[in-house]
Amino acid sequence: MNVVILGATKGMGQALARRMAERGDRLFLLGRNADDLGAAGKDLEVRGATGEVGHAHCDLDAPEGFEVALNTAWAALERVDTAVVTAGLFATQEELEADPELAAKLTRVNFANTVVFCEHARKRLLAQGGGTLCVFSSVAGERGRKPVVIYGASKAGLSRYLEGLDHKFRSEGLKVVTVKPGFVKTGMTAGLEPPPFAGEPDEVAEIVLGAIDRGDPVVYAPGAWKLVMAVIRHLPRAVMRRVGF
């Protein structure tokens, strides 16, 4: 399939792009750093991606560039079967509480700007008759939790938007796949103590690729987080106030 990916140079996005390349998908990369994009493209070509892996600049904190970036991707691929968004920001609750500007940037990038990017992609996918929009949210958005109050809120908003998008447009051919990773060992989480059920990027990539192929509306990765979050969603507020997770 033809795939455009925002955020394929690191972590889970890189692992997913590599799996797609290894099975011969045709890829186009979007991201902030031209050198990283070029290196990632060459890596994917060696791994088996069909044709040259092109790239274009796209920064989630600069929505004025979204349309040009997606126009470039569509022109290169001619048709896009799947648009993937793995990019986003993370900071600890302590960092966000201490820095209101960082908190504003994180919520803007993870929610408002990601929604704007998805809207651009949605319109293009529907205009060609359909396709898949796969976006990485987080289990942090399932409940209001002490360690991830602000980050979790940004992902909660994104998850609800994606759910509504899937309800509204699946009958028109748009499959929305919301990925809810738990703790994954990437550069984003470096320095943090891994909890039980912490995952590796390649493990997550395998699960996500299967969900994209099936058109699953929601996928938890690693899979154990589906059960963990089912419990957390049903805990009474009084219990949530007493516990530290």
Q: What is the pLDDT along the chain (245 residues), one digit of tens a residue?
A: 999 999 999 989 999 999 999 999 999 999 999 999 999 999 999 999 999 999 999 999 999 999 999 999 999 999 999 999 999 999 999 999 999 999 999 999 999 999 999 999 999 999 999 999 999 999 999 999 999 999 999 999 999 999 999 999 999 999 999 999 986 756 565 556 656 666 688 899 999 999 999 999 999 998 888 998 899 999 999 998 988 77
The three-state secondary structure class of 75 is helix
Q: What is the pLDDT of residue 191?
A: 59
Contact, 37 vs 29, CB < 8 A? yes
Contact, 144 vs 182, CB < 8 A? no
Phi, psi of 174 (to 5 degrees): -95, 115
Q: Give this prediction's pTM.
A: 0.93
Query: What separation in angstroms does the CA of 196 have from each of 95, 99, 218, 220?
Result: 23, 29, 22, 15
The DSSP H or E segment spanning 220 is strand 218-221
Tokens of 30: 């979007």
Q: What is the pLDDT of residue 115?
A: 98
Q: How far apart are CA 229 and CA 222, in angstroms?
A: 12
Q: How far apart are CA 72 and CA 52, in angstroms?
A: 14
Looking at domain 2-242, its CATH architecture is: 3-Layer(aba) Sandwich (3.40)
